[in-house]
């Protein structure tokens, strides 16, 4: 009941819905040339972020592995990525003889291009003055913005599958297929997890979702969606521990085995920009987007909240996710492919679907679809329907968790049967070390084996003694 | 009726769409044809958006370009990289029947489209209605009200269609396992139980001069171990012999002996 | 519709950057012909004339793609439902639960038959 109350408190504080689902950002004072300027700005922001994040990743992983990481080119090695990029450009661009030339060139371009497109609808800050126009710090916003990101991602998969297919080689083909199956499998769970956000915000436009979070970030009422999104976004971007497409032990380089020079660099760039895109979407949907964190927004009537300040908070939250990506890579081993697919199809999808239904019921109760009667509890007026629904969901969740845990405990118990208390240290003629808590059977003098054995089997307790006798006889 | 920007967009994209659609018919390779269709789908999505149907446009890209085309690509890849169309008639009279159906469809389309009254006023009223819906409850809400109101029955039937799809896929593509799958742990246990190759099979190519997968490992007595090479390579007759390497080895041994004698 | 034009800007920028980089490296990079270099990658052995299985895909992936479509379409219906939820009312909620349950039958069937097993 207390859990249900907390849950109610969390979801009860949501602001009233906007009258329409359309974007709240006002683009009426944004001429097309200014949109182009903003697009160039976002593009440069992404390129610089990519240069930085590759350096950041190598440095942080270096720290995690007790080594310095790149520190030669520029201050703190900051220019390392730039140097690597330049070097990639000056290398020979090899097209294998068996490759399908046109598609082979097109595939990395599709990946890189599609990675950039989705960032156009991410709000990076509040409304600012730019060249004499008042405009939101966002390239554009549309009523179907979040869906657009998913659509662009599904086009981006073409880059991977076509690269794998067009290389005319075994490893790329297998890597491309694996990668595609992986991305599409996790895209479903990702898409389903976002439904809870739309239920709360009543809109798919990113600016409307951000402004709907002004009093409460959706990470609290949609905590489960956040967890699912966090897992799926790693699966979507083919990053460790889910980088099965590039499992070098089994597939060499995966779909980009045959690629070299700048065409390879485009896949690399695409991967990192995709990481930024999914992180930016997570920031926008769950962490209040560009809005200042709760305590800072309370300072002096949110003086650090509006305008260009938004860019700072947005970037900070974005890099929080980038750090999580790096952290995961530094600490987790790669999962096996069948484990990965099983987790996606048999766990994430059904449980996310159940969660979406639960949120729909909670939301329906809040909006008064299930009756309007109220009750007062601890000085707060609660709707009976919401309390009942939240309690039912909580009970079901607890029961499911309990059954799950019970089953696992049973399986674990079945797996490790208690080892026998006594152990023959020389069973089957090989030396066998005892497990902790096991007693050793007293070694018997070899010559007196026959008569002593018969007394030992009668004195020792139960069947284990008898079996020991048998074994003694067979090898003796 | 249409804004100039919309007209310009249409006249740029429509020819591309037509060329891509023709690519489906005339492309030599199946995958090129599939890519042509994907391009047509994207452009159709853009057309929908240009007609103020935002949700429909994005869903067109999301579902058709994403899901359906992925399926299509997978199916095409099932038949192999350089499969080309076979012109053999598998069903008798198929060509004539399909020609008849094509003529029928063309006639149907021609007369249906020809019979449509393109009345400027009606069209304008329709556009105004869409624009008004997009402005007030919003495009997606408008679609939702239609799906969950007027067309609710069709929506529910769609779920039955999806069941059919799953059933069909299982019947066509699923292969039942006859024996239970042996897991990695079970393999390891089996090796220990049988006491054969307990430490795993020997790795290929542990010879100092060569480490390729087709080079068998050498046993302590110098004979190649047949266990160390994948049986696929054996079947393809691709296993490298170690004779040449042994000559090198003897040469080196001689050199070492000479060095020791000096 | 105007609000979609900046997305095209982004698309153009991304494509221009990708095309320019690839083109530059083609011009700037060295070209030294070597037959072995142009062969498909292999672990030290002679590469097979074609990719594995003649570049053909296991039929297993067909099932994955089909299941993906099923759930994709389900989520496409869930989106307008979620966005317009506050205007639709209880009736839509019941409809949606029925829809999800029906699709879940397909899911349960595939699971039961072992369509979700990977090895």
Closest by Cα among B193, B196, B162, B187 to B63: B162
Residue A324 sits in the same domain as residue A186: yes
Return d(Cα A267, Cα A164) in angstroms, integer: 12
B167 contacts chain C (CB < 8 A): yes
- In a domain? residue C64: yes
Shared-domain flag, residues A216 and A349 = yes
Residue C7 falls within a domain, yes or no?
Answer: no
**Residue pLDDT, tens place only, B155-210:** 888 888 888 888 888 888 887 778 887 888 888 888 888 888 888 788 776 555 56
- Cβ of A165 within 8 Å of Cβ of B81? The answer is yes
Both A108 and A192 in a single domain? Answer: yes
Do A322 and A437 sit in the same domain of this protein? no
Cα radius of gyration rounded to whole Å, chain C: 25
Q: Where are the beta strands (DSSP E) in A316-395?
A: 374-377, 380-383
CB contact under 8 A, C72 and A191: yes
Residue C26: partners with Cβ closer than 8 Å, 6 or more residues away: A93, A262
The Cα of C98 is separated from the nearest Cα of chain A by a number of Å equal to: 11
> What is the predicted pLDDT for the residue at A169?
79
Chain C touched by A165 (CB under 8 Å): yes
* Residue A363 and residue A393 share a domain: no
Query: What residues make up the domain containing B67?
Result: 1-81
Q: Which of B55, B67, B79 sits opposite C80 (nearest CB)?
A: B55
Compare all CA atoms of chain C with the CA of A152 and give the residue at the minimum distance.
C11
- Interfacial B residues in 88-147 facing C (CB < 8 Å): 137-138, 140-141, 143-145, 147
Contact C47, A169 (CB under 8 A): yes
CA B190 to chain centre: 38
**pLDDT of A441:** 77
CATH code of residue C75: 1.20.58.1610
Residue A188 with chain C: CB contacts under 8 Å: 68, 71-72, 75
Query: Residue C109 belongs to what domain range?
Result: 55-119
**Contact predicate A314/A290, CB 8 Å:** yes
CATH number at residue B35: 1.20.120.1200
Does some domain include residue C9? no
As a whole number of angstroms, the distance between CA A42 and CA A58 comes to 24
Distance between CA C65 and CA B71 in Å, rounded? 5
Q: Is residue B182 part of a domain?
A: no
Residue C63 forms part of a structural domain? yes
**Chain B residues with CB-CB distance to A180 below 8 A:** 70
| A168 and A270 housed in the same domain | yes
In a domain, B185, yes or no: no
Residues of C in contact with B160 (CB under 8 A): 102
For residues B129 and A457, the model is more confident at B129
Give the C-alpha separation, A256 to A275, whole Å: 18
What is the DSSP code (8-state) at residue A120? G
Contact yes or no for C48 and B236 at CB 8 A: yes
- The structural domain count of chain A equals 3
Q: How many domains does chain B have?
A: 3
A139 and A258 together in one domain: yes
Tell me whether A260 touches chain C (CB under 8 Å): no
Q: Give me the residues paired with residue B218 across strands.
A: B224
- HEC profile of chain C: CHHHHHHHHHHHHHHHHHHHHHHHHHHHCCCCCCCHHHCCCCCCCCCCCCCHHHHCCCCHHHHHHHHHHHHHHHHHHHHHHHHCHHHHCHHHHHHHHHHHHHHHHHHHHHHHCCCCCCC
In a shared domain, residues B12 and B77: yes
B4 and B74, same domain (yes or no): yes
pLDDT in tens, chain A (476 residues): 344 444 444 444 444 455 567 777 777 777 888 888 889 999 999 999 999 999 999 999 999 999 988 888 888 888 888 898 888 888 888 888 878 888 888 899 999 999 899 899 999 888 888 888 888 888 888 888 999 998 888 888 888 888 888 887 778 888 888 888 888 888 889 999 999 999 888 888 898 888 888 888 888 888 899 999 999 999 888 887 888 777 766 777 778 888 888 888 998 899 899 999 999 999 999 998 888 887 777 776 776 777 788 888 899 999 999 999 999 998 988 888 888 888 888 899 999 998 998 888 888 887 777 777 776 666 666 777 777 888 888 888 889 889 999 999 888 888 777 767 777 777 677 777 777 777 777 766 666 555 544 444 444 444 444 444 444 444 43
Residue A235 lies in a domain: yes
List alpha helices for chain B, DSSP H: 4-26, 30-50, 54-59, 69-78, 94-115, 120-135, 139-145, 152-173, 184-194, 231-235, 243-261
pTM over 0.90: no
Residues of A in contact with C51 (CB under 8 A): 98, 167-170, 172-173
> Which residues between 115 and 144 in chain A have a beta carbon less than 8 angstroms from any beta carbon of chain C?
115-117, 119-121, 139-142
User: Do A311 and A394 fall within a single domain?
Assistant: no
Could you tell me which chains touch chain B, where touching means 3 or more CB pairs under 8 A?
A, C
Same domain, A208 and A267: yes
Q: Is residue B210 part of a domain?
A: yes
Nearest CA in chain C to B5: C2
When scoring B61, B169, B215, B241 by the number of chain C Cβ atoms within 10 A, the one with the most, hence best to mutate, is B169
Domain count, chain C: 1
- Determine the residue among A23, A143, A176 to mutate to test chain B binding: the one whose Cβ has the most chain B Cβ atoms within 10 Å: A143
The answer to whether A212 and A219 have CB atoms below 8 angstroms apart is no
Domain check: are A263 and A164 in the same one? yes
Q: Which domain holds residue A443?
A: 423-475
**Domain for residue C14, yes or no?**
no
Question: Residue A353 and residue C18: Cβ atoms within 8 Å?
Answer: no
**Domain for residue A5, yes or no?**
no
| A3 part of a folded domain | no
- Per the listing, tokens 């309007």 go with A372
Residue B176, judged by CB atoms within 10 A of its CB (0-12, 13-18, 19+), counts as exposed
State whether A286 and A378 are in the same domain.
no
Asked if residue B212 belongs to a domain, the reply is yes
Last residue of a domain, one of A325, A347, A367: A367
Size of interface A-B (CB pairs under 8 A): 73
B220 & B165 share domain: no
Contacts of B61 in chain A (CB under 8 A): 151-152, 154-155
Neighbouring residues of A245: CB distance < 8 A, sequence distance ≥ 6: A160, A175, A176, A178, A179, A182, A238, A251, A254, A255
What pLDDT, in 10s, does the model give residues B67-91?
766 776 676 666 665 555 566 667 7
Q: Decide if B135 and A22 are in contact by the 8 Å CB cutoff.
A: yes
Per-window interface: A 131-190 vs B, CB < 8 A:
142-144, 147-148, 150-152, 154-155, 157-158, 161-162, 165, 168, 180, 184, 187
Q: For tokens 């008004």, what's the residue?
A: B132
């Amino acid at each position: 009941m207390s859990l249900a109350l907390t849950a109610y408190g969390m979801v009860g504080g949501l602001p009233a819905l906007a009258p329409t689902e359309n974007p709240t950002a006002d683009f009426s004072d944004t001429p097309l040339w200014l949109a182009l300027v903003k697009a160039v700005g976002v593009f440069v922001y992404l390129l610089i972020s990519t240069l930085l994040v590759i350096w950041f990743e190598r440095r942080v992983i270096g720290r995690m592995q007790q080594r310095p990481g790149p520190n030669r080119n520029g201050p703190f090695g900051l220019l390392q990525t730039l140097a690597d990029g330049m070097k990639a450009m000056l290398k020979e661009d090899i097209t294998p003889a068996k490759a399908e030339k046109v598609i082979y060139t097109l595939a990395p371009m599709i990946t890189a291009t599609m990675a950039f497109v989705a960032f156009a609808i991410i709000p990076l800050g509040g409304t600012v003055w730019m060249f004499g126009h008042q405009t939101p710090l966002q390239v554009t916003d549309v009523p179907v913005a979040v869906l657009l990101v998913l659509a662009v991602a599904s086009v981006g998969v073409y880059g991977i599958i076509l690269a794998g297919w067009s290389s005319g080689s075994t490893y790329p083909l297998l890597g491309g297929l694996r990668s595609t199956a992986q991305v599409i499998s996790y895209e479903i769970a990702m898409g389903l997890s976002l439904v809870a956000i739309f239920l709360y915000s009543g809109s798919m436009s990113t600016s409307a979702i951000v402004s709907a979070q002004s009093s409460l970030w959706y990470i609290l009422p949609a905590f489960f969606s956040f967890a699912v999104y966090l897992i799926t976004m790693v699966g979507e971007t083919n990053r460790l521990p889910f980088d099965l497409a590039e499992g070098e032990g089994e597939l060499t380089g995966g779909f980009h085995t045959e690629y070299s020079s700048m065409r390879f660099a485009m896949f690399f760039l695409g991967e990192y920009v995709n990481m930024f895109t999914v992180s930016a979407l997570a920031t926008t949907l769950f962490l209040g987007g560009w809005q200042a964190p709760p305590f800072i927004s309370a300072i002096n009537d949110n003086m650090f909240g509006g305008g260009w300040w938004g860019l700072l908070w947005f970037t900070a939250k974005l890099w929080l996710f980038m750090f999580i990506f790096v952290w995961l890579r530094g600490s987790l081993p790669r999962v096996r492919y069948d484990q990965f697919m099983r987790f996606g199809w048999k766990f994430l999808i059904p449980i996310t679907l159940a969660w979406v239904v639960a949120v729909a019921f909670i939301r329906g109760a809040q909006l008064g679809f299930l009756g309007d009667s109220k009750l007062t509890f601890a000085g707060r007026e609660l709707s009976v329907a919401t309390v009942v629904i939240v309690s039912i969901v909580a009970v079901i969740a607890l029961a499911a968790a309990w059954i799950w845990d019970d089953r696992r405990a049973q399986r674990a118990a079945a797996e490790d049967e208690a080892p026998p208390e006594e152990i023959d240290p020389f069973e089957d003629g090989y030396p066998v070390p005892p497990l902790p808590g096991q007693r050793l059977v007293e070694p018997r003098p070899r010559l007196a084996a026959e008569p002593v054995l018969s007394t030992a089997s009668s004195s020792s307790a139960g069947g284990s003694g008898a079996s020991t006798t048998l074994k003694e006889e067979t090898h003796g | 009726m249409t804004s100039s920007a919309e007209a310009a967009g249409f006249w740029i994209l429509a020819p591309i769409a037509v060329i891509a659609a023709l690519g489906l018919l005339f492309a030599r390779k199946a995958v090129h044809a599939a890519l042509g269709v994907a391009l047509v789908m994207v452009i159709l999505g853009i057309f929908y958006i240009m007609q103020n149907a935002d949700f429909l446009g994005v869903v067109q890209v999301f579902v058709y370009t994403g899901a359906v085309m992925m399926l299509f690509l997978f199916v095409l890849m099932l038949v192999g990289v350089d499969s080309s169309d076979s012109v053999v008639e598998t069903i008798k009279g198929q060509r004539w029947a399909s020609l008849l159906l094509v003529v029928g469809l063309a006639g149907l389309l021609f007369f249906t489209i020809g019979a449509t009254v393109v009345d400027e006023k009606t069209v304008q009223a329709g556009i105004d209605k869409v624009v008004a819906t997009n402005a007030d409850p919003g495009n997606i809400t408008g679609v939702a009200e239609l799906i969950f109101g007027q067309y609710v029955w069709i929506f529910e039937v769609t779920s039955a269609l999806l069941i059919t799809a799953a059933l069909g896929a299982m019947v066509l593509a699923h292969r039942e396992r006859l024996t239970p799958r042996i897991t990695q742990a079970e393999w390891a246990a089996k090796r220990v139980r049988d006491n054969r190759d307990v430490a795993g099979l020997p790795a290929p190519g542990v010879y100092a001069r060569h480490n390729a997968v087709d080079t068998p490992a050498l046993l302590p007595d110098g004979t190649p171990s047949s266990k160390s090479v994948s049986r696929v390579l054996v079947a393809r007759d691709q296993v490298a012999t170690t004779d040449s390497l042994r000559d090198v080895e003897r040469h080196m041994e001689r050199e070492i002996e000479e060095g020791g004698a000096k | 519709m105007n609000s979609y034009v900046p997305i095209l800007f982004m698309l153009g920028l991304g494509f221009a950057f990708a095309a320019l980089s690839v083109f530059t490296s083609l011009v700037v990079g060295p070209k030294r012909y070597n037959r072995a270099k142009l062969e498909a990658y292999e672990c030290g052995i002679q590469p097979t004339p074609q990719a594995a299985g003649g570049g053909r895909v296991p039929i297993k992936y067909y099932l994955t793609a089909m299941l993906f479509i099923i759930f994709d379409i389900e989520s496409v219906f869930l989106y307008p439902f979620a966005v317009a939820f506050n205007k639709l009312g209880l009736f839509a909620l019941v409809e949606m639960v029925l829809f999800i349950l029906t699709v879940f039958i397909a899911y349960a069937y595939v699971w039961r038959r072992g369509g979700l097993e990977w090895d």
